[in-house]
Amino acid sequence: MKKYRIGIVGATGAVGQEIIHLLEKREFPVAEARLLASARSAGREIQACGNLEVVKETTFDSFNGLDIAIFSAGAKNTLEFAEAASKQNCVIIDNSSAFRMDKDVPLVVPEINGDCLEQHKGIIANPNCSTAVALMGLYPLHKRFGLKRFFASTYQAVSGAGAEGVILLDEQIKQHFSIETQSAQVESIFPHPIAFNLIPHIDEFRADGYTKEELKMRNETKKILNSQNIRVSCTCVRVPVYRAHSISINAEFDSPVNVPDARSALEDFSGVELWDIPNAQRYPMPLNYSEKEICGVGRLRLDHGFENGLAFWIVGDQLWKGAALNAVQIAEELIERKCLKTL
Ligand code: A2P
Residue nearest atom 17 in ligand 1 by C-alpha distance: 10
Query: Is any ligand 1 atom within 6 A of the Cβ of residue 16?
Result: yes
Cα 96 to ligand 1 centre (Å): 12
Cα–Cα distance between 38 and 59 in angstroms, integer? 9
User: Bridge partners of 250?
Assistant: 151, 311
Domain assignment present for residue 341? The answer is: no
228 lies in the same domain as 311: yes
Do 74 and 137 share a structural domain? no
Are 105 and 225 in the same domain? no
User: From the CB of 9, is ligand 1 less than 6 Å away?
Assistant: yes
Shared domain check, 145 and 56: no
Domain that holds residue 102: 4-127+323-336
201 shares its domain with 260: yes
The CATH number assigned to the domain holding 192 equals 3.30.360.10
Q: What is the pLDDT of residue 74?
A: 97
Determine, yes or no, domain membership for 342. no
Domain contains 301:
yes
Task: Give residue 14 CA to ligand 1 midpoint distance, Å.
Answer: 9
Q: From the centroid of its chain, how far is CA 169?
A: 20
Query: How many Å separate Cα 215 from the centre of its chain?
Result: 15
Three-state secondary structure readout of 16-41: HHHHHHHHHHCCCCEEEEEEEECHHH
Q: What CATH number corresponds to the domain at position 79?
A: 3.40.50.720
Beta bridge partners of 37: 57
Residue 272 within any structural domain of the chain? yes
| Given 129, 234, 236, 295, the catalytic residue | 129
Decide whether any atom of ligand 1 lies within 6 Å of the 37 Cβ.
Answer: yes
Please name the residue whose Cα sits nearest to atom 16 of ligand 1. Answer: 37
Ligand 1 centroid – CA 170 distance (Å): 20
245 is catalytic: yes
* pLDDT 10s digits, 128-179: 999 999 999 999 999 999 999 999 999 999 999 999 999 999 999 999 998 8
Residue 95 and residue 23 in one domain? yes
Taking alpha carbons only, the member of 160, 180, 154, 323 closest to residue 249 is 154
Model-level pTM? 0.97
Tell whether 40 is covered by a domain.
Answer: yes
Q: Would the CB of 12 count as within 6 Å of ligand 1?
A: yes
307 secondary structure, DSSP code = T
Overall average pLDDT of the 267-272 stretch: 97
Beta bridge partners of 47: 52
CB atoms within 10 A of CB 299: 15
Length of the chain: 343
Q: Are 117 and 201 in contact (CB under 8 A)?
A: no
Asked whether the beta carbons of 340 and 67 are under 8 A apart, the reply is yes
Q: Are residues 123 and 145 in the same domain?
A: no
Please tell me the predicted confidence (pLDDT) of residue 183: 59
Which residues lie closer than 8 Å to 87 by C-beta, 6 or more apart? none
pLDDT-based confidence at 185, cuts 50/70/90? Answer: low
Question: Same domain for 17 and 103?
Answer: yes
What is the band of 312 on the pLDDT scale with cuts at 50, 70, 90? Answer: very high
Contact by Cβ (8 Å): 58, 36: yes
139 and 93 part of one domain = no
d(CA 251, CA 260): 16
Q: Which atom of ligand 1 is nearest to the CA of 14?
A: 7
**Intra-chain end-to-end CA distance of the chain, in Å:** 13
Q: How far is the CA of 235 from the centre of ligand 1 (A)?
A: 28
* Ligand 1 near 296 CB (within 6 A): no
Q: Does residue 309 fall inside a structural domain?
A: yes
Report which ligand 1 atom has the smallest distance to the Cα of 12.
14
Tell me which residue has its CA closest to atom 20 in ligand 1.
Answer: 38
47 and 161 both lie in a single domain: no
For residue range 13-58, list pLDDT tens digits in order: 999 999 999 999 999 999 999 999 999 999 999 999 999 999 999 9
CA–CA gap between residue 123 and residue 99 (Å, rounded): 8
For residue 88, the SS3 value is coil
Phi, psi of 267 (to 5 degrees): -65, -30
Residues 105, 139 share a domain: no
Whether residue 114 sits in one domain with residue 251: no
Please identify, by atom number, the ligand 1 atom nearest to the C-alpha of residue 39. 3
Would the CB of 77 count as within 6 Å of ligand 1?
yes
Total domains present in the chain: 2
